[in-house]
Amino acid sequence: MTEQFQSDLKKATLFHGHACTGIILGVRMARAGLSYLGINDPEENRDFIVYLEIDRCLADAIQSVTGLSFGKRRLKAMGYGKMAASFIDMNTGKGVRIVMNAKQEAPEKTDQVQFWDQFPDEQLFQMEPVMVDLKPEDLPGPPVRTAVCELCHEKIMDGKDIVKDGQILCKACAEGAYYRKI
């Protein structure tokens, strides 16, 4: 266990609220992604984007270790429900998608950190080089495009508007919203 892992784990545990398998493996996944991109100190290199496919413990660990946030647009929630994330270089669009491969479960009453420490990254993760077509609308910086929905008249930022039957619509009007008005 390296010093870096221990300090990453401490930070992620504070951020998340408890240490769990998702946090331990999320810390490992974050570092694997960073090192693929050649980044040692994410504070010093902000030119990367992480696409999170899960919104569970693992996501908090990745957010904590990378220091990325949704508000700064360097973290993207894909909502796939998969224990996976892609770490992408913002300048080239190239990077790595890392999928959790771990089949084993830490036996009860064992030290989780010790248990997972015996497995190398290659056993825990499947890593595949990937390319993301980064759109200007998806990148950090001032909004490049805004629109107004022709149905609800709400403002839509960052190219999230959808053209349907010749109308410019927001996602909620075009595809149905996640909420119902009561």
Burial of 45 (0-12, 13-18, 19+ CB in 10 A): middle
Shortest CB 31 distance to Zn ion, Å: 18
Q: Which is nearer to Zn ion, 24 or 49 (CB)?
A: 24
Shortest CB 111 distance to Zn ion, Å: 16
DSSP string, 19-80: --HHHHHHHHHHHHHHHHTT-S-TTT---EEEEES--SHHHHHHHHHH---TTTT-EEE---
| Cα separation of the two ends of the chain | 53
Q: Which is nearer to Zn ion, 113 or 130 (CB)?
A: 113
Q: Which is nearer to Zn ion, 46 or 171 (CB)?
A: 171
Shortest CB 144 distance to Zn ion, Å: 20
Contact criterion met (CB below 8 Å) for 152 and 168: no
The count of residues in the chain is 182
Q: Which is nearer to Zn ion, 23 or 132 (CB)?
A: 23
Residues 54, 58, 64: CA angle, nearest 5 degrees: 115
- Positions in the binding site for Zn ion (CB under 5 A): 20, 22, 57, 149, 151-152, 170, 173
Contact criterion met (CB below 8 Å) for 66 and 88: no
Shortest CB 22 distance to Zn ion, Å: 5
Q: Which is nearer to Zn ion, 23 or 37 (CB)?
A: 23
Shortest CB 35 distance to Zn ion, Å: 24
Q: Which is nearer to Zn ion, 22 or 95 (CB)?
A: 22
Q: What is the DSSP letter of 181?
A: -
Shortest CB 154 distance to Zn ion, Å: 6
Contact criterion met (CB below 8 Å) for 27 and 16: no
